Amino acid sequence: MDVILLGAPGAGKGTQAQVLEEHIGLVHVASGDLFRAALRRGTELGMLAKSYMDRGELVPDEVVIRMIIERISQNDCASGVIFDGFPRTVAQAEALDAMLGRHGTQIDRVIRLEVNSQKLIDRVAKRFAEEGRKDDNPESFKIRLQAYTDQTAPLIPYYEKQGKLVGVDGMADVDAVAKSIATALDNL
Q: Which one of 55, 119, 127, 164 is the catalytic residue?
A: 127
CB of 13 to ligand AMP, least distance (A): 7
Q: Which one of 13, 109, 112, 123 is the catalytic residue?
A: 13
Q: Which one of 123, 144, 161, 179 is the catalytic residue?
A: 144
CB of 54 to ligand AMP, least distance (A): 8
CB of 187 to ligand AMP, least distance (A): 28
Nearer to ligand AMP, 138 or 183 (CB): 138
Q: Which one of 40, 133, 134, 164 is the catalytic residue?
A: 133
Nearer to ligand AMP, 143 or 171 (CB): 143
Is 13 among the catalytic positions?
Answer: yes
Nearer to ligand AMP, 52 or 128 (CB): 52
Which residues bind to ligand AMP, rule: CB under 6 A? 9, 31-32, 35, 52-53, 56-59, 64, 85-88, 92, 135, 144
CB of 39 to ligand AMP, least distance (A): 10
Nearer to ligand AMP, 30 or 185 (CB): 30
Residue 125 exposed, middle or buried by CB count within 10 Å (0-12, 13-18, 19+):
middle
Is 134 among the catalytic positions?
Answer: no
Distance CA 40, CA 36 (A): 6
Is 144 among the catalytic positions?
Answer: yes
Using CB positions, name the residue nearest to ligand AMP: 32
Three-state secondary structure of the chain: CCEEEECCCCCCHHHHHHHHHHHHCCEEEEHHHHHHHHHHHCCHHHHHHHHHHHHCCCCCHHHHHHHHHHHHCCHHHCCCEEEECCCCCHHHHHHHHHHHHHCCCCCCEEEEEECCHHHHHHHHHHHHHHHCCHHHCHHHHHHHHHHHHHHHCCHHHHHHHCCCEEEEECCCCHHHHHHHHHHHHHCC
The Cβ of residue 139 has, within 10 Å, a number of other Cβ atoms equal to 9
Residues carrying an active site annotation: 13, 88, 127, 133, 144
